[in-house]
Chain A
Amino acid sequence: MRTIFALAGVVIKELYRRKDFYVLFILTIVICVIMASVNIFNDNQIVRYLKELCLLLIWISSLVIAITTTARQIPAEREQRTLLPLLAKPLTRTQLILGKFLGCWLACGLVLICFYVFFGALAASREHAWPLLSYFQAAILHWMALGVVIAMTLLGSLVFAAPSSNSTICFVLVATILCVGRYLDAVALTLGEPLRSVIYAFYYAIPHVEIPFEMRNLIVHDWPLIGWKFIGLDILYLLAYMAIFLVAACLVFRRKPVN
């Protein structure tokens, strides 16, 4: 476990020593602050739209950070050959995969804390309220969804040759799930066989990360809290997908030549 945490520590250090995270973070903050300072159409309810846009930006930024950070982990190790002195130590390839995953996941968790604290401050400046439990529910499911995306990207980085192609494929896949994932069963109902079964199979096979995505509504419309039992079940559901992708990544990596 100490080895996995050591590897994760290096991933986190890399993230905060690179400039791209700061650029994205500052850009998100600047856009949100500008939006917050403008009273569009003199509408007092504009704060809802503002919150929705702000949360959408947070989702997009966190996905960009998660996918781009994860996609380059193993390819960069191979390309820069830092994998050689690393695997010359008493370290298994499974530990390496788990360390990289944990590092990216924890780094994204830290990023989310920054984003949600900023969002909370921005919303409180307009609404004078801190619905902390709603924020917590949205943030924890957001983090779990990012875990699934990170595990999937890690597997992709072992399958696809270039980090750019892996990032693009993962972005398209995640965007598709977020936009149409929940409608697939309804679409399947309108189709005849065998297409119906194929679409149903897709519907049940894909990780439904759009559930955490929809948690934005909880904050935007001040809906009551979701039952903790359902939050727990969704966390278990997302953890199961993380485990599936990670096991697949470990199996693929075991067969990969080091150089």
Chain B
Amino acid sequence: MSVILKTDKLRVEFKSREFRQSPKVALSGLDLEVGTGEVFGFLGPNGAGKTTTINVLLGFVQPTSGAAALFGIDVRQPIARQRIGYLPEMTYYYKFLSAEELLRFYAKIFGLPRNETDKRIAQLLKLVELEHASKRQIKTYSKGMQQRVGLAQALINNPDLLVLDEPTSGLDPVGRMKVREIIQRLKNEGKTVFFASHELGEVETVCDRVAIISEGELKAIGRVSEIVAQHPSLEKAFLEVIGYKPQLA
């Protein structure tokens, strides 16, 4: 199994806007390795550094020190993003385009040939069950439909690595189940999924390995079965690892 996502002693500091305030450390010495075909869960409480890690991997944020690579290519090179798909936490798409137009636009950015694009768009709209609404502008879609458009755009280039930032946040149970099914399907196709989430039950169901970070530091990493074996549940393991102590006895 080859490593396709790697971070090496990654450190990210954000300068404070306040006078004489020390910089905020968002990530500190983060070492991660994700291999081909893995579904990797990336867990942590709010403000732990999950989204910052994803932002570094996608080239949005420059690390203060350390390195990050996708497919062995430095993440600062745009070509490192050629084989990845990214689904952000919220739906951030051009609302004046229809789902089909949005997918066609992203396909052009990936340089897909026209006949392949048509085929791919038809497949994806079927996969996310949006064939009936493919010509409607995205602004008329429900939140669940917009999230499914997001998933379709993340898959337009048939990526080898899918980066999902809280893909089921705000979705109803049916929507969550659909996203879970799609992740399972991708896993069966041998795709790698890097998956940041708060939904521990979901992570337990779909992930092979998980990493838990807190306050920018890696607290635990390993197979889900190994972590769960030492604790009554993944939730208990998570709370213990991040050092949460219940206030009520």
Contact = CB atoms under 8 A, between A and B. Distances in A.
Interface of A: 2-3, 5-7, 9-10, 13-14, 17-18, 80-92, 257-259
A7 B96 CA distance: 14
A7 B106 CA distance: 9
B60 A84 contact: yes
A13 B97 CA distance: 8
A82 B81 CA distance: 17
B244 interface: no
A259 B56 CA distance: 12
A94 B122 CA distance: 31
**Ranked 8 nearest A-B pairs via Cβ:** A6-B108, A88-B86, A81-B92, A258-B60, A90-B82, A17-B96, A90-B78, A89-B109
A257 B109 contact: no
Interface residues of B, number: 31
Contacts of A88: 58, 60, 81, 84, 86, 88, 163
20 contacts: A6-B105, A9-B105, A13-B96, A14-B96, A81-B90, A82-B93, A83-B92, A85-B88, A86-B109, A87-B58, A87-B59, A88-B81, A88-B88, A89-B81, A90-B80, A90-B110, A257-B61, A258-B60, A258-B61, A259-B60
B72 to A, nearest CB: 16
A43 B228 CA distance: 93
A75 to B, nearest CB: 14
A2 B111 contact: yes
Contact of A90 (B79, B105, B150): B79
A85 B90 contact: no
Contacts of B81: 88-90
Given A88-B58, A88-B81, A259-B60, A6 B109 contact: yes
Contacts of A14: 94, 96
